[in-house]
Amino acid sequence: MPIDVDTDERLADIARATVEVARERGTRAVTLRAVADRLGRSTAYITNFVPSRAHLMANALDHARTQWDAERLEHLGDLVGVERLAALARWMCTSDPEENVLRSLWIEVIADVRGANERAYQVVRRVTDATYDKFLAGAEHVEHDGASVDLEQAAHIADILYLYCRGYEVKAVEDPASWTDARVQASLEVLLRALVFGARHDATA
C-alpha cells in the first residue's frame, strides 16, 4: 500500500527550514540544497513538494501569511473602529528576529516581480493588499470635528499609515540597530495623534 503523505506538514517543515537557513546565512543562501541539508533530506525530496528556489520563497511567505493572520486576530481582539486601526498600525510596526528574516525574503521577492519570483510576489501582494484594506476600513471610522471623515479622507489616512508601516519594514531590515521598536513606536504615536485621534489624545497616548 502507498504511504500516506501529509503534504501540508511537509510544506510547513520546508518553510521552517527555509527561514532557518535565511536567518543563519542570509537570503542569498536559500537554495534547494541548503534547505534539503537543513532537513537531512535529498534535494529530490524537496523538489517533490517545492520545485524551485522561487517556490521555496513563496512557500515560506505563504506559511508566514497564515501565522500573521492568526497573530493579527489575536492582537486586535474585539477592538473596533479607530482603536482597531491604531492597534493594527502598532502591531505592524513591531519586530522579532524571524519577522526580519521574512521581511528580507519579501524584499528580495519584490525586487524580482517579473522574474522567477513572480509566484512568491503574488503571495506578498495578497498580504499587502489585504492589510491595506484593513487600514481603509478602520480609517472610515475616524472623526474630524465630530463627523466621520469622507471616503477620500479615509483613503488618505489609510495610504499614509500603510506607507509608514511598509517603510518601517524596509528600515527594520536595512538598519535594525537604528530603527528600534521604541523609536518607531514613538513616531507612530505622533502620526496616529495627528491623523486619527486628534485632540482626543494627549501626549501620553
Q: Residue 122 — very low, low, confident or very high, per pLDDT cuts 50/70/90?
A: confident
User: Can you tell me the distance from the alpha carbon of 168 to that of 61, in angstroms, rounded to the nearest whole number?
Assistant: 18
Backbone angles phi, psi at 117, to 5 degrees: -90, 15
pLDDT tens digit sequence for 46-64: 999 999 998 898 899 999 9
pLDDT tens digit sequence for 75-115: 999 998 889 999 999 999 988 888 889 999 888 888 877 67
Domain ranges of the chain: 54-200
Q: How many residues does the chain have?
A: 205
User: Can you tell me the distance from the alpha carbon of 10 to that of 4, in angstroms, rounded to the nearest whole number?
Assistant: 12
Answer whether residue 191 shows pLDDT above 80.
Answer: yes
CATH number for the domain formed by residue range(s) 54-200 = 1.10.357
- pLDDT of amino acid 148: 80
Which residue has cell 471610522?
A: 141
89: Cβ–Cβ under 8 A, 6 or more apart, which residues?
A: 135, 161, 164, 165, 188, 192
- pLDDT of amino acid 204: 41
